[in-house]
């Protein structure tokens, strides 16, 4: 019998970094009301950062902000805005600066996704994902750049690994995230002389998130998926949060314009989760495996 594979340990940033490394700093996070972005915000706050979380649903934001404040002891405010609306984002930035006096760090994390083949993907659906992910990132940069430049701060953009290899049913998000990667690289070059850094975190499959629930195959075995990850387990939101803390910390002061895959090595072994080529030849034949509507 083969020996049991090694399973990477789980840790929190507070076990590695000092608790006050972001004292006096302010984070502006789009998509911060839930999932990966909320976890990143919480990690930053555990190290002394004040935060504003941005999203469309004010009830969800308000609840999340209250919980984050109670959990970390640092102030967090909700700032309602759709990242597709530059005026709304400008107001969210204004609210943040009026409350905290500055913006040092920005997480561009608002995103949208679903499964659909190109042949069945409407122009409106494609445009919507591009507007949320790519245009939303651009709009967020435009709304915050002067504040981040003044603070000699940094950006972290949430991307994906889907576009690194062709991923069926993911044309829209693949194009959108490729655009996010490109924007970050240009931002790093243009704003580096002003003291601003920009990097990308590209998560692999992260368990317990809305994105994973939307994109995972119904009935798939999570234990079997974990066996296909060299690190021995599925990703956790804390893994992404740790990467964000590192990128924003002074330990990464010489790192900019990079894309960091946080996936336990999954990209090197990933295979189609749906039968190929059957799935692309007859999308209807795999509908039963897909949780949301294609």
Catalytic residue among 25, 174, 177, 226: 177
Catalytic residue among 13, 51, 159, 174: 159
Give DSSP secondary structure letters for the chain: -PPPPP-PPP--GGGTS-TTTTTT-EEEEETTTSHHHHHHHHHHHHTT-EEEEEES-HHHHHHHHHHHHHHHSS-EEEEE--TT-HHHHHHHHHHHHHHHS---EEEE-------B-GGG--HHHHHHHIIIIIIHHHHHHHHHHHHHHHHT-EEEEE--SGGGS--TTBHHHHHHHHHHHHHHHHHHHHHGGGT-EEEEEEE--BTTSHHHHHHSBTT--HHHHHHTSTTSS-B-HHHHHHHHHHHHSGGGTT--S-EEEESTTGGGT---SS-TTHHHH-GGGGGGGBSS--
177 catalytically annotated: yes
**Cα–Cα distance measured from residue 294 to residue 274, given in angstroms and rounded to the nearest whole number:** 14
Q: Are strands 105-108 and 26-30 parallel, antiparallel or unpaired?
A: parallel
Q: What is the set of active-site residues?
A: 159, 177
């Amino acid at each position: 019998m083969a020996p049991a594979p090694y399973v990477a340990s789980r840790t929190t940033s507070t076990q590695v970094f000092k608790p006050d490394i972001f004292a006096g700093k302010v984070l502006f996070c789009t998509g911060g009301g839930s999932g990966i972005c909320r976890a990143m915000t919480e990690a930053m706050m555990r190290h002394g950062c004040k935060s504003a979380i941005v999203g469309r649903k004010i009830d969800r934001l308000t609840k999340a902000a209250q919980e984050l404040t109670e959990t970390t002891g640092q102030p967090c405010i909700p700032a309602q805005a759709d990242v597709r609306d530059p005026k709304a984002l400008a107001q969210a930035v204004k609210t943040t600066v009026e409350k905290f006096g500055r913006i040092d760090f920005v997480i561009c994390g608002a995103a949208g996704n679903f499964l659909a083949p190109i042949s069945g993907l409407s122009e409106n659906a494609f445009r919507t994902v591009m507007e949320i992910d790519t245009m939303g990132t651009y709009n967020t940069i435009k709304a915050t750049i002067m504040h981040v430049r003044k603070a000699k701060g940094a950006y972290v953009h949430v991307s994906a690994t889907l576009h690194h290899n062709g991923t069926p049913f993911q044309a829209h998000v693949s194009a959108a995230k490729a655009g996010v990667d490109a924007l970050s690289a240009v931002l790093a070059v243009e704003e580096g002389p002003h003291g601003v850094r920009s990097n990308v975190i590209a998560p692999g499959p992260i368990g317990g998130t809305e994105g994973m629930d939307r994109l995972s195959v119904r009935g798939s075995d999570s234990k079997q998926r974990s066996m296909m990850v060299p690190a021995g387990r599925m990703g956790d939101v804390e893994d992404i949060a740790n990467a964000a803390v590192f990128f924003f910390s002074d330990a990464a002061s010489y790192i900019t314009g990079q894309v960091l895959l946080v996936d336990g090595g999954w990209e090197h072994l990933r295979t189609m989760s749906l039968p190929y080529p059957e799935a692309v030849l007859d999308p209807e034949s795999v509908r039963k495996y897909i949780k949301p509507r294609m």
